[in-house]
Amino acid sequence: MAGEAIGAVIMIGRGGHTPQEMLVAAAQRACTLDLISALQRQGINRLILATPDADWLPAGTPVTVDRDPPGDFVFGRRLAEVIQRHALSRVLYFGGGSTPLLDDHTLSQIIAMLDRPPATAASTPDRAALTNNLHSSDWLALTDALDALPIIRQADRDNSLAWLLSHSGAYNVHVLSGSRPATGMDLDTPADLGIVARHPDIQPHLATAVRHPLLDSLPVQQIARIAATPESHLTLIGRVSPQAWGALNRATQCWVRVFAEERGMVANGRLARGEVRSLIGELIRLQGPQTFFKTLAEMTQAAIIDSRPLMAACGRWPDDADRFASDLFLVDSIKDGWLRDFTAAAREAPIPVLLGGHGVVAGSLYALVETIERAG
């Protein structure tokens, strides 16, 4: 089989110790188990799991465990190390929670690119890569991976990997098209879990992991009902994907108000350099979060908010425990004062508000749209 020479590298972290962090980690691990089964169905048997902790892995799982060494973790250096150690030329890279809705057909398309890279013009490089998102990649298929090691080592996180390969001039980077957009969904935050939990195509391990009472606080069903109601009003705030917004417009008859800002803030380094700016964040600073949500409620019936640009624009980047606690409205668990006040105001808003990361206005929004369409 052509796919036998292809190696798949799945990278998954340890996760934190708070209930909200453990919830996300458990979902990512479950997603990984579903992915391993899917790869096997495609004939990919060279499976490498790069992780600091494989104790959760069921006995007999057909993977090679490559344990993270002690010391600071740098994504690019670690991925390059795994590729080099296992001498992988054609590579499928996946983050541990990057494939919750990846179906067999789409996976076969990704593998086909490695078997038959897209034709390139004479002026473009022959080396090829395929990803779900150029600006915020969650998975990547790569030819000539050993040649890419110097570029891969520069990536501080997987979101910037496709961007770096593209801007290196050495790789012809393609974004997967012609497939279900929801296959670009990634499990980064509790809000992503709340959305995928209601999707009809959720895979078995993940379906079990997201049956959790902490997710009951998320107004996913309320927002879906509002979006599905003709002439209703829904607001999207943050790094809104124009394609996901368009999908929502095509699938529903609701009025959508969009405030899109700071797309690509991670991939091009604005976050790391402290250059993130937010008009919505400035409005919240001037009005205070309670007045902001009161004003917002006068314009819309529900809101989906990518809160990370708001945090960064305020000069703060709370840890996972705080960010996930905010997404779940666990106000008393939040250490950061600004985030605690913002979350309390969102929880008390006159309208349902869903807080999360980039996914809630991108890949997870696609998944929400599919859920609405299939329910209708």
Q: Which residue segments constitute the domains of the chain, with CATH numbers given?
A: 2-183 (3.90.550.10), 217-375 (no CATH)
Quick check: 44 pLDDT over 80? yes
Give the pLDDT confidence of 321-376 residue by residue, as tens digits: 999 999 999 999 999 999 999 999 999 999 999 999 999 999 999 999 999 999 87
Quick check: 310 pLDDT over 60? yes
Q: Is 24 strand, coil or helix?
A: helix
pLDDT at 2: 42
Quick check: 18 pLDDT over 60? yes
Where does the pLDDT of residue 9 fall: very low under 50, low under 70, confident under 90, or very high at 90 and above?
very high
**Which one has a higher pLDDT value, 181 or 274?**
274
Quick check: 125 pLDDT over 70? no
Residues ≥6 apart with Cβ < 8 Å to 286: none
Encoded tokens for 59: 């006995």
Do the Cβ atoms of 191 and 218 come closer than 8 Å?
Answer: yes
- Rounded Cα distance between 331 and 341, Å, is 8
pLDDT at 3: 41
Tell me the average pLDDT across 310-317. Answer: 94
pLDDT at 179: 64
Q: How does 80-93 read in b/e, with b if 16+ C-beta sit within 10 Å?
A: bbbbeeeebebbbb
Quick check: 4 pLDDT over 80? no
pLDDT at 118: 62
The DSSP output letter for 229 is S
Tell me the average pLDDT across 259-274. Answer: 90
Give the pLDDT confidence of 71-119 residue by residue, as tens digits: 889 999 999 999 999 999 999 999 999 999 998 989 998 998 888 766 5
Do the Cβ atoms of 354 and 306 come closer than 8 Å?
Answer: no
- Rounded Cα distance between 321 and 96, Å, is 18
- Rounded to the nearest integer, the mean pLDDT of the chain is 93
